[in-house]
Chain A
Amino acid sequence: MSNGNDMGKDMRPDHGTPEEHREIAKVLAHASAPPAAAAAAARLIARIADEAQEQPTAKVLDFAPRPRPAARRVLRFAAALPLAASLALGVYLGAKGTLDFMLPAAITGGVAANEDLPDELGGVGEADAYAEENLS
């Protein structure tokens, strides 16, 4: 006989044919019938009269946050103000070029400033010279 608790096995449902259902219903009709339980229900009601209900208990506990020291707002501003002032000064001096002499030439020199840019990068301007050479 198969194990009824082994749910992983033979999980494909077999709906059974209507005739099969009729047959099984006829067979099960021969089974014993449970006795009427009116007296049992009356005993239960009598038992309930003596049973006290449980007091509902709070399932959610009150959350008491851990005390923490108050945030120091003054110190926060004291750190932010010099940083902001330093940033503003840096932007100003950089734009003026006042401190360029302190910076390497690669950053501040002509190459970086792109001042030595040739007029013609593609070599088209020297085409005539090349052409003369070819003719000669």
Chain B
Amino acid sequence: MTRDASAFRQMTDAGLLEAAAGGSHAAFAEIVERHFQPVYRLVWRMTGGAAEAEDIAQEAFVKLWKNPSQLREGAALRGWLMRVASNAVIDGSRKPRAGAIEDVPEPPDPMARPDAPLDRAQAQRLVDAAIAALPDRQRQALALVYFEGLSNIEAAGVMEVSVDAVESLLARARRSLKESLSAEWRDLIGGLAETGR
């Protein structure tokens, strides 16, 4: 007997996983519906918005679909998907890529016109470049905690490190961002939104 999509919407992740292990495409579609966006967002942040973000996020789900029983606890589904996807990003970043240096966008030089006001597009480019310059693990911790809203404990579970290690990575990420954006820091934390620049 097949269930309709609304029945799957009521089910827990563990129930969906069990149904998917039984070959239910509809149950797996519900898993995708629930968890693809956050996994994709994490990969997108970690890759700096690279085109392969979609492929990497998809691979984590395909891996789960091929063998759903590899995940013992359905409650930890999102964390597992995030872990698999972000590990794939880190593994991919270790491999040398042809033209990798050319792929990195040139960060805008705010000192070129020191008196020019910082507009929204410039602020976005600056912050994106500063995040992209962080080491993989710091960027992962930042994306999980600040962008995805995970607690430090949840982030530690995804990253398979201790909570102290996550806090240490976050502290270093904050310091690095503050250093690299020191010239624009005041503008970034206050000026833009209020003045509408």
Question: Which residues 17-35 of A sit at the B interface, judged by CB distance below 8 A?
Answer: 20, 23-28, 30-32, 34-35
For residue A95, CB closer than 8 A to chain B, the reply is no
- Residue contact B36 to A37, C-beta cutoff 8 Å: yes
Residues of B within 8 A of A45 (CB): 25, 28-29, 32
* Residue from A25, A47, A53 in contact with B58 in the complex, judged by beta carbons closer than 8 Å: A47
Given contacts A37-B54, A47-B62, contact A30 B192 (CB under 8 A): yes
Contact size range, B = 35 or more
- Residue contact B62 to A51, C-beta cutoff 8 Å: yes
Interface string of B166-197 (1 = CB under 8 A from A): 01111111111111110001001110100000
Residues of A within 8 A of B135 (CB): 1-5
For residue A15, CB closer than 8 A to chain B, the reply is yes
Measured CA separation A35–B168 after assembly (Å): 30
Residues of A within 8 A of B170 (CB): 16
Measured CA separation A3–B173 after assembly (Å): 10
- Residue contact A7 to B165, C-beta cutoff 8 Å: yes
Q: How far is the CB of A129 from chain B (nearest CB, A)?
A: 89
- Which residue of B is nearest A25, CB measured? B146
Q: How far is the CB of A35 from chain B (nearest CB, A)?
A: 8
Interface core residue of A26, A31, A36, A51 (most chain B CB under 10 Å):
A31
Binding site for B on A (CB under 8 A): 1-5, 7, 10-16, 20, 23-28, 30-32, 34-37, 40-41, 43-45, 47-49, 51-54, 56
- List the 9 shortest-distance A-B pairs measured between CB atoms, nearest first: A4-B135, A13-B167, A14-B171, A4-B138, A34-B44, A4-B137, A41-B36, A37-B40, A30-B123
